[in-house]
């Protein structure tokens, strides 16, 4: 019998700080349940955020092209790994809250599985994508140049996961001009709609959810975020 995963999604943008707090609450609930000898279902949040920048816990400020205290730019340092990245409407962000006791106690395996979810979901749109050795995320080769379409950054505490990945669908990519994406000086980014015209983010949500369930062998239960 497959393990249950609660899928929460919304048709409106969710503020970054709201989703961050949800994740922390979900993780703590699962830690407490384990201490009580209980088990709670895995969770997948699929959301969009208004424009925001996030820095990994060890990320260098040199990769910002603005002051982190700038009043007109939302920017947060968070507990995930990785460097600075950008979220905005038109980008699908996935936050899996998984108990790796029921999967594998292997962070490299987990990262590769998240990348595989993205790769297989893009394949459903007939878009080939790939990993690049030594780097985290998913890339598309366009006219001989690798461009990043998805960013991956996680935090795992007592084998409970949080944070996850972001897939560029039809967002305004100009926000990446304010940073050195993922700390890679020559990193170019791209959107799915450059390869699949008129693609809607709802279509991508379905593809990601189904692929996620297959990769992690989960049974999804769907819930809408009010």
- CATH number, domain of 125, equals 3.30.930.10
- If one counts the domains in the chain, the total is 1
Q: Is the pLDDT of residue 182 over 90?
A: no
pLDDT at residue 124 above 90? Answer: yes
Give the residue numbers spanning the domain of 98: 3-224
Q: What is the pLDDT of residue 78?
A: 96
Residue 226: pLDDT over 80: no
Q: Is 182 a catalytic residue?
A: yes
How large is the average pLDDT for residues 25-52? 97
CA distances from 43 to 6, 95, 176, 179 (A): 5, 8, 29, 31
Q: Is the pLDDT of residue 95 over 80?
A: yes
Catalytic annotation, pick one of 5, 182, 187, 190? 182
Q: Whole-prediction pTM value?
A: 0.96
**Coil, helix or strand at residue 45:** strand
CB atoms within 10 A of CB 108: 8
d(CA 161, CA 154): 7
Of the pLDDT bands very low, low, confident and very high (cuts 50, 70, 90), residue 151 is: very high
């Amino acid at each position: 019998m497959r393990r249950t995963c609660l899928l929460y999604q919304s048709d409106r943008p969710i503020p970054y700080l709201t989703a961050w707090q949800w994740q922390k609450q979900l993780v703590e609930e699962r830690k407490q349940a384990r201490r009580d000898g209980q088990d709670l279902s895995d969770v997948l949040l699929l959301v969009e955020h208004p424009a925001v920048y996030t820095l990994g816990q060890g990320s260098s400020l040199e990769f910002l092209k603005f002051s982190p205290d700038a009043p007109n730019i939302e920017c947060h340092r968070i507990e995930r790994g990785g460097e600075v990245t950008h979220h905005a409407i038109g980008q699908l962000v996935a936050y899996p809250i998984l108990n790796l006791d029921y999967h594998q106690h292997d962070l490299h395996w987990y990262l590769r599985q998240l990348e595989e979810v993205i790769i297989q979901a893009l394949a459903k749109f007939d878009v080939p994508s790939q990993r690049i050795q030594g780097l985290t995320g998913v890339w598309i080769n366009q006219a001989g140049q690798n461009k990043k379409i998805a960013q991956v950054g996680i935090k795992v505490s007592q084998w409970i996961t949080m944070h996850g990945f972001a897939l560029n669908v039809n967002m305004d990519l100009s926000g990446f001009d304010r940073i050195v994406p993922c700390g890679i000086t020559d990193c170019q980014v791209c959107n799915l709609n450059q390869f699949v015209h008129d693609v809607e983010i709802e279509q991508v949500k379905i593809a990601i959810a189904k692929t996620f369930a297959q990769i992690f062998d989960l049974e999804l239960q769907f819930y809408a975020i009010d």
